[in-house]
Chains A and B, each alone.
Chain A
Amino acid sequence: MVTEDIYNKEYDVIIVGGGVTGAGTARDCALRGLSVLLVERNDYSTGATGRNHGLMHSGARYAVTDGESARECISENMILRRIARHCVEETDGLFITLPEDDLAYQRTFVEACQSAGIRADIIDPEEARRIEPAVNPDLIGAVRIPDASIDPFRLTIANLLDARMHGAEALNHHEVEGLILNQGRVEGVKLFNKLKGEHVEVRGRVVVNAAGIWGQRIAEMAGCKISMFPARGALLIFGHRVNQMVINRCRKPANADILVPDDTVCVIGTTSDRIPIETVDDMRVTREEVDILLKEGIKLAPSLATTRVIRAYAGVRPLVASDDDPSGRSISRGIVCLDHAKRDGVEGFITITGGKMMTYRLMGEIATNAVCAKLGNTAACVTAAQPLPGSEEGAPSQSDLTKRYSFGQRAAIGRHGSLAARIEKDNDIDNALVCECEGVTVGEIKYAVQQLHVHNLVNLRRRTRVGMGTCQGKLCSCRAASLMGEMSHDVKRAQQDLASFLDERWKGMRPVAWGDTLREAQLTAAIYEGLCGLDMAVNTQGKEDQQ
């Protein structure tokens, strides 16, 4: 559907926020037969969804401190293994005790896991060293739990794709500037189309605020007050996959105590700091954060000391003050669903927040239940049983992949599951590799541009992993920009886009710009500025949109 037609429809529900919670809610609403529009101010997964470990928690981390969260996690963990298996890598995880930790905590931990229904097996340190050679060999205790690694970008897009297959519409790069209010009712959203610079209004019977930390602002537009407590966490990506299992510290949750293998890299995190709400858009990672992450990370896996750090990033979790506590001191770590009709006397407006990436599906279910109650829809939720597109029955197994497909095709199937069948691969050009690190072909880029809301290289990176490998987009970003320029017939914009993309990559490299990462930066400058003169061709003021 063209954008103008999307604007002119009236929807049962408009969802604000293109993170995994918004996408999961859109899917659930669409599957229950509602007409749905999702709007996102930047790109899908730009906020906390794309700024975490990529860890599929077993819930063990919360078992001691928050049994309810732990039970939610393990239950959703088991569901995601079924419905989103093309986004999940079943790595399992270890909770290790180091000499400086109290081994007595291990017993408390295992008991708490068992009472939350999480499998937790104490194993011998020798056994831990054998199954995970990267682990700190000085460990004095280890527990094996069902953690896994999950790709949040892929998960979000799979939810959106399924929502669209069931009639939903989605618009990225559309910012909510205000809500349409009429006699105490929310009747739609006022949008700014950042791609075209247009202001439009779209009407909906219910508006769901799924904007994460930015949800406080959206609620204020309806005159509702939610007290958010932004909790910032910084993380580091290492240049190769040091560990094969998730490694956690077996102690009370603290800084930098989880190391997750993701695809070809691994990620250490997080720090945890309360920050003022005014600073949530400043994602710059500080030197102090980098220092803590390195110091603690090396304790989990000593080889990190000599592994290249390719990128640093930070995200903000939306913690919410509990409504029962007027002082605002008591913070809920669980899912918070607010019906503003009951709470604030504003009809047609629901906020879904708190929670975790792990519980996005459950959050979607709870929010959709609230929407359905308002609209008198009685359809049951099916998202826990029905696989996401890409994870349907009959999707090829790993051994099929190695036998029958090229590297590029295998990588694409890994990323898109059974949807990879839609990628053009019938001629030699479509099979040609654009990104050698991640195995992205011309055909996959065409598919992403045509089907997956790709307007720029940052969008493309989130859909395909182009430029996410160890070279951080040294040559592939130019190849991809060139291809996109030819597809859109707007070469000038593609060039500006390339500069913005390099700038976005640099923002993550700069806090860790030493060693090979500084070297790569100089190499990139030699190619794009020295050789190509890109700096002379573009306006060097980075667009605010490309943070």
Chain B
Amino acid sequence: MRMDTVIMGGGLSGLTCGIALAKRGQRVTIVASGLSTLQFNCGSMELLGCIDGKAVTSPLEAIATLPQGHPYSKIGTDRIATLAEQAKSLLDDAGVIMEGNAAANHWRITPMGIAKPAWLTLFGHLHIDDLNQLPARRVALMCVRGFFDQPNGMLANGLKELGFEVEKIEFTTDDITALRRSPSEMRASSLSKHLVSNHALLRVADQINSLTGDAELVLMPSVLADEEAVRTLQSMVNKPLRMIATLPPSVPGARIQTLLRHYFRMLGGNYLMGDSAVSGTFDGDLLTAITTAKLGDMPLKADNFVLATGSFISRGLIADYERVYEPVLGLDVDADAEREQWTRFGVLEQQAYMGYGVATDNNLRCLKQGKTISNLHAIGSVLSGHDAIKMGDGTGVSLLTALAAAQDILGNK
């Protein structure tokens, strides 16, 4: 069957683009490998967090100062505010309820207790608008006994440095203790599967209520699978209760991924799970079809294609012994030729390879051997010119380039 658009990659950008197109009546197929950096999500989206090591307070203003090669500059900085609004309401429609706005960053609290700038934060997760006006003074930090993927000591110390009075409280319930039988089971994802029923949540609430004394705010690791579980537990606990992201696997990230996927399917989208694009057929300046690992000699044909295969982590980009390349379609990439240039000596320095990605024109259309492929857009982390780590722009670039590409595709029709 011929599709209107085929999207390679089913992470945050691929799903967002797919939803935007399906909402406008397009027939869309997403080819999704199953790998997504939402696995490391912090429960927040970042539009622009840092420039030159300094925290950004007003992302919309700061975006206007970005260099030309940055995806936001390509989209056009005048469109950013509108696209950001659209992204928030798209997430809302999918059931991903987030708080925040693009005019002013708020602060999310990391698993190590560091305050980092964020644009949107998932419902039920701790975020602070103004670090000089903390929402509470006495905080009870709930630590699940034997759960090592929340570094409790560092988290408590970070919260203290922000000005909270923190008491660490270890707790467990029968459901949680049962997980201990296997030494590697105590992960956030397995906790989330066991803390679903009202009964299991009530036992957690009982512990919290009996142990937290005069605390004004209760914090716990983000190990609840969905919004319903968060609301239920909040209603059972007699104090304000907020979640803090854990080390991977990220339960809030999995929640975002699941909700977007369900919404895309509800809109009639076709999500090919566990498959990935392996090659494409070109005709002049058009991509006419792609083949996938599982469909073999049955190519997927479409009017438009979107490359949303991610960065090195997701294998959207590959570095081998000699060069950096885009493995599916052999597209042009922006990357240094010499291996020595890819990295820097110190692990926490800004690494050049983070900014590598496929080259595009200002409409995010890909280039192959210097020629624009007019029906192929690239979106998200596979794009060059941004740095999710040092600039805190990863999720924002994914969401906004996805919407910008969708508009371009719809406008082309």
Contacts and interface: CB of A to CB of B under 8 A. Distances in A.
Interface of A: 287, 294, 406-408, 428-429, 431-434, 436, 441, 475, 478-479, 481-483, 485-486, 491-492, 494-495, 499, 502-503, 505-507, 510, 513-515, 518-519, 521-527, 529-538, 540, 542
Contact of B116 (A407, A432, A513, A536): A536
Nearest to B113: A537
A407 B184 CA distance: 11
Interface of B: 37, 40-42, 110-112, 114-116, 145-146, 148-149, 151-154, 156-158, 177, 180-181, 183-184, 186, 245, 247-248, 250, 311-313, 315, 318-321, 339-340, 342-343, 345-349, 351, 353-354, 388-390, 392, 394
9 contacts: A441-B183, A482-B152, A486-B153, A495-B157, A507-B345, A518-B342, A519-B313, A526-B37, A532-B114
Contacts of B312: 518-519, 522
B42 A523 contact: no
Contact of B320 (A482, A514, A533, A540): A514
B148 A505 contact: no
A483 B156 CA distance: 14
Given A532-B111, A542-B346, 4 more contacts: A492-B157, A518-B312, A530-B392, A531-B250
A510 B247 contact: no
Contact of B110 (A486, A492, A513, A532): A532
Contact of A518 (B250, B319, B345): B319
A537 B114 contact: yes
A479 B388 contact: no
A485 B186 CA distance: 20
A527 B346 contact: no
A531 B155 CA distance: 13
Classify the secondary structure of B's interface with A: loop
B148 A482 contact: yes
Nearest to A500: B347
B321 A514 contact: yes
A483 to B, nearest CB: 7
Contact of A515 (B40, B111, B319): B319
A325 B153 CA distance: 60
Contact of A478 (B41, B180, B247): B247
Contacts of B184: 433, 436
Nearest to A530: B389
A491 B114 contact: no
Contacts of B110: 531-533
A428 B186 CA distance: 11
Nearest to B158: A537
Contacts of A475: 149, 247-248
A529 B348 CA distance: 8
Given A526-B37, A532-B112, A482 B389 contact: no
A432 B111 contact: no
A522 B353 contact: yes
Given A475-B247, A495-B112, A527-B247, A408 B339 contact: no
Given A491-B154, A510-B345, A536 B114 contact: yes
A529 B351 CA distance: 12
B148 A479 contact: yes
A514 B157 contact: no
Contacts of A521: 343, 351
Given A523-B313, A526-B388, A540-B348, A287 B40 contact: no
A441 B186 CA distance: 13
A542 B248 CA distance: 26
A518 B151 contact: no
B112 A519 contact: no
A531 to B, nearest CB: 5
A287 B154 contact: no
A542 B345 CA distance: 11
Contacts of B180: 428-429, 432
A199 to B, nearest CB: 29
A524 B389 CA distance: 11
Contacts of A538: 348
Contacts of A432: 146, 148, 180, 183, 186
Contacts of B343: 510, 513, 518, 521
A479 B149 contact: yes
A526 B183 contact: no
A532 B351 CA distance: 18
B183 A431 contact: yes
Given A475-B248, A482-B148, A533 B154 contact: no
Nearest to B347: A506
Nearest to B42: A531
B146 A428 contact: yes
Contacts of A502: 347-348
Nearest to B183: A433
B157 to A, nearest CB: 4
A502 B112 CA distance: 16
A287 B339 contact: yes
B112 A406 contact: no
B124 to A, nearest CB: 18
Given A428-B146, A519-B312, A530 B394 contact: yes
B78 to A, nearest CB: 28
B248 A499 contact: no
B157 A408 contact: no
Contacts of A542: 346
B42 A495 contact: no
A421 B363 CA distance: 65
Nearest to A499: B348
B40 A483 contact: no
A527 B253 CA distance: 13
The 4 closest A-B pairs by CB, nearest first: A533-B114, A506-B347, A482-B151, A479-B148
Contacts of B157: 491-492, 495
Contacts of A523: 40, 313
